[in-house]
A = this chain, B = another copy of it.
């Protein structure tokens, strides 16, 4: 780290990269970056070139002496890295289309990080993450891994607990959005309020206190169904049941809608599905438009349009985290890290998403204490589901994958669960080497995805 930092971004061709560059540029005065390596795979080469060129223009406009490298060779990039950020999507948006459409074609919620789709995103990502960690052990054994590849909590648990890479912090933009949007609702500024988050990634709650230590969670709950309310753009904003939330006296995250308003969320997704407009399909259009902007060689900064993506603030959170580590700030942030008892009803070595102090030694979670019955039941069940997902992903075990499905509240239990499991395995075959034999057996029985859009993707070899 002596002469300046080397930062490596796996999945560097992502449309979010300009936000990451902006974040680093804004912090350059205290975060002396020297080299940025944007890494991507062959299928992402074109996007890497476009966004990489914009990244270079952005830095050039600053006069800061930072080199931006673009490469398809991960090992070259990782050599002596100080920080590695991961924001890749195995199978690109086409895989997300399958994660959404296959469950929906059987009447279940299809979603990128929740339900059957989220489980399969983990199945595809974990084998790749394993290779990345092996490379890091070899090439940059002291580097920090800042993960924001989804499902962020599950991936972080796999990296730390299964692969043994302790210098890993998982990030998400959802808490950040809440802390940006909510204060104004009760006439406060962010610095006037004290936030405490606890739970799992995409399944956490928070409490808020004012300057005098009074709990203002109830006041914020009165605004929970206001529009523009702190929920990421990608989530349909059905109305939360206020009686329930007031009894809990906790603010939910936007993703709780899938669980607490399952019926409405499913109906909305089915409507989109029938219109050929699931979220992935919408995002594809947004991305195409973004890359059209990025191609403009006169563009030297992050375009405003990027904020419309669900992942806004993601990269900003990542830069803030890198900064807090590098400068030993002991700054409160909401991250996925080792529980250490902070949520006492979950295993001490589980990964949880909690308010933590971020410093040079990593994340120190603040202890939350005991959850009440209702929240405890949900968290314990969701964590068990995550554990099954990870075990199935590593072992390529069909029965354990079924267990993950069986526990997941967004999967309908019954014969249809197995159908969806089988179709997803077949549809994602290319990215699931650990399930190769199982998929061969399923295909031998003639199982094939029934959704036409998915069939078309498969026909094109995507």
**Complex partner residue of A241 from B341, B359, B404, B415, CB under 8 angstroms:** B415
B residues near A213, Cβ cutoff 8 Å: 325, 328, 359-362
- Contact with A364, one of B264, B366, B399, B409 (Cβ below 8 angstroms): B366
In the complex, residue of chain B having the shortest beta-carbon distance to the beta carbon of A325 = B213
Closest chain B CB from A86 CB (angstroms): 21
In the complex, the answer to whether B364 meets A367 with C-beta atoms within 8 Å is yes
CB interface residues, A 178-217, toward B, < 8 Å: 194, 196, 209-215
In the bound assembly, the distance between CA atoms of A332 and B356 in angstroms comes to 13
Chain B nearest CB from A268 CB (Å) reads 11
Q: Tell me how far the C-beta of A383 lies from the nearest C-beta in chain B, rounded to whole angstroms.
A: 7
Q: Which partner residue on chain B sits nearest A398 by CB separation?
A: B243
**Which of the residues B194, B263, B341 comes within 8 Å of A330, measured between beta carbons?**
B194
Closest B residue, CB atoms, query A144: B213
Contact B348 A357 (CB under 8 A): no
- A246 to chain B minimum Cβ distance, whole angstroms, is 6
A50 part of interface (Cβ distance < 8 Å): no
Q: Report the Cα distance A1→B207, complex, angstroms.
A: 24
Task: Count A interface residues, CB 8 Å.
Answer: 80
Q: How far is the CA of A154 from the CA of B100 in the complex (A)?
A: 39
A2 to chain B, nearest CB (A): 11
A187 to B192, CA, bound (A): 38
A435 to chain B, nearest CB (A): 14
Specify which chain B residues have a CB less than 8 angstroms from the CB of A215 in the assembled complex: 361
Q: Is the CB of B328 within 8 A of A212?
A: yes
Contacts of A194 in B (CB 8 A): 328, 330, 359-361
Question: Is the CB of A343 closer than 8 A to any CB of chain B?
Answer: yes
Residues of B within 8 A of A398 (CB): 243, 247
A385 contacts chain B at the CB level, 8 A cutoff: yes
How many Å lie between the Cα of A339 and that of B342 in the bound state?
10
CA A216 to CA B359, docked complex, whole Å: 15
- Which residues in B have their C-beta under 8 angstroms from that of A409? 409
- Contact present for B414 and A264 (CB under 8 Å): yes
User: A381 contacts B383, CB within 8 Å?
Assistant: no
Q: 14 A-B pairs, CB-CB below 8 angstroms?
A: A194-B359, A194-B360, A196-B364, A213-B328, A238-B414, A241-B402, A247-B399, A263-B415, A265-B414, A338-B369, A366-B367, A373-B387, A374-B407, A378-B407
